[in-house]
Chains A and B, each alone.
Chain A
Amino acid sequence: MRFPLLALLAEGPAHGYELKQAIEQRFGSVLPPLNTGQIYTTLSRLERDGLVDDDAVAQNGRPNKRVYRLTDAGRMELRGWVADATPAARMKDDFFMKLVLARAAGIADPLELIDRQRAAYLQALRELDDVTVADEVSALLVEGAALHLEADLKWLDLCEQRMGS
């Protein structure tokens, strides 16, 4: 959450609720509902680390509103995040662990495991394809997830060929 908040503040000062709205608007339906408390916790940590600062703005009959802005250190930190290439996805695959170990222990038929996994991936692909996303950002993200699932399904075919019997 740190870097997304820093990036949003690079557009200009904002209070916590505006940040929540901004990120929900950017990512639309593909983002799970955000926890407001988490946003404020992150903002106070960023403030503690000197990456953001806040100004209290008086409001009529209500507590002061805290408007956050990026500090110079925060801007540097953000620049580093943006400039670094993101590491390639790691092969963290719970299914593969299950397949290899259950097969070795003789406690499952590898073909059954593969079939069940294929059904789960197909269902996930179906759900992604049923989504109508209105905005381009969400559409790109959904397309990316579908491409990953297609790769997972192809990989299951390989697992079946080489480990199925």
Chain B
Amino acid sequence: MEPVIVTRGLTREYEGGVRALRGVDVSVDEGEFVAVTGPSGCGKSTLLNLLGGLDRPTSGEVEIGGRRVEALSEARWAHVRRDEIGFVFQFFNLIGNLSVADNVELPGLLAGLSPREVRARRAELLESLGIGEFADQSPTRLSGGQQQRVAIARALINRPRVLLADEPTGALDSASAREVMALLREAHDERGQTIVLVTHDARVAARADRVLAMRDGAVASETRLERGDKTAVARLMQLEV
């Protein structure tokens, strides 16, 4: 497996000497689903922002698809973000006065895809995410869970090398959160989508293939998770009669 994202010795210091990251080495393989967890202030969102070029490291390297990106100009980063990275945020960040369809199509058109191709991809994505019926509505009329699905469609329209998700279930009730996680897993299982997801929620992290636990700006531990089977359940429940 080729790594899609690699970081080496990544640090981020803010003014006043606050060290948000103190040397992070991470490698994410193509098709992997990685969750980054940890208490607030551990540096997990800073890490995601550095991976997506929304922030710049103080030192260290970031590689995306084999290409060093940490020193790129903002204009070049904008191209990398548009072509290689899909973002999903906690509060959806949709454009309220555009329709659902236009929100999803916009990044595709900006990337120079033909309108016909963009329409086809948008229709297929909305359908597979179960929100095809809302294409012509404003996203502001939708529930949180539905809005997050629109945001996922928008993030996937350019078939990004990696999907970066920052607390994607943080603003949702538990039922919607589970639906959104099921859809992210589906994108991973069926499209082989590489995903890096930041969450403070253990239940959400447990859906990933690998969990990186951060502490004080560094990766403290790493856990590979195996799929469960039926016998595991009875063992876990320890229900006795």
With a cutoff of 8 Å between Cβ atoms, the chain A residues found around residue B39 in the complex are: 157, 161
A31 touches B239 (CB 8 A): yes
B239 touches A141 (CB 8 A): yes
What's the least CB distance linking B211 to chain A, in Å? 6
Interface of B is mostly: mixed
**Which interface class (under 10, 10 to 19, 20 to 34, 35 or more) fits B?**
20 to 34
The verdict on A153 contacting chain B, using a C-beta distance below 8 Å, is yes
Alpha-carbon distance A6/B18, docked complex (angstroms): 64
Contact partner of B233 among A29, A33, A121, A153, CB < 8 A?
A29
CB contact list, A11-32 vs B, under 8 A: 23, 27, 29-32
B230 touches A153 (CB 8 A): no
A119 touches B223 (CB 8 A): yes
Instruction: Find the B residue at minimum CB distance from A154.
Output: B202
Known contacts A4-B241, A111-B220, A127-B228; A30 and B211 CB within 8 A of each other: no
B225 touches A123 (CB 8 A): yes
What's the least CB distance linking A3 to chain B, in Å? 9
A146 touches B241 (CB 8 A): no
With a cutoff of 8 Å between Cβ atoms, the chain B residues found around residue A27 in the complex are: 239, 241
The verdict on B207 contacting chain A, using a C-beta distance below 8 Å, is yes
Mask, B76-110, CB within 8 Å of A = 1, is 00000000000000000000000000000000000
Known contacts A29-B233, A31-B241; A130 and B223 CB within 8 A of each other: no
**Which interface class (under 10, 10 to 19, 20 to 34, 35 or more) fits A?**
35 or more
With a cutoff of 8 Å between Cβ atoms, the chain A residues found around residue B205 in the complex are: 122
With a cutoff of 8 Å between Cβ atoms, the chain A residues found around residue B73 in the complex are: none
The verdict on B203 contacting chain A, using a C-beta distance below 8 Å, is yes
With a cutoff of 8 Å between Cβ atoms, the chain A residues found around residue B211 in the complex are: 119, 122
The verdict on B75 contacting chain A, using a C-beta distance below 8 Å, is no
Instruction: Find the B residue at minimum CB distance from A4.
Output: B241
What's the least CB distance linking B230 to chain A, in Å? 6
The verdict on A55 contacting chain B, using a C-beta distance below 8 Å, is no
Alpha-carbon distance A160/B39, docked complex (angstroms): 11
A146 touches B221 (CB 8 A): no
New A-B pairs, 15, CB < 8 Å, besides A111-B220, A118-B221, A121-B202: A4-B241, A23-B241, A29-B230, A34-B241, A118-B213, A122-B223, A126-B206, A127-B227, A127-B228, A127-B233, A129-B203, A133-B233, A146-B203, A153-B202, A157-B39
What are 10 sample pairs from A and B whose C-beta atoms fall under 8 A apart?
Answer: A4-B241, A23-B241, A111-B220, A119-B221, A122-B205, A122-B225, A127-B233, A129-B203, A129-B207, A129-B228
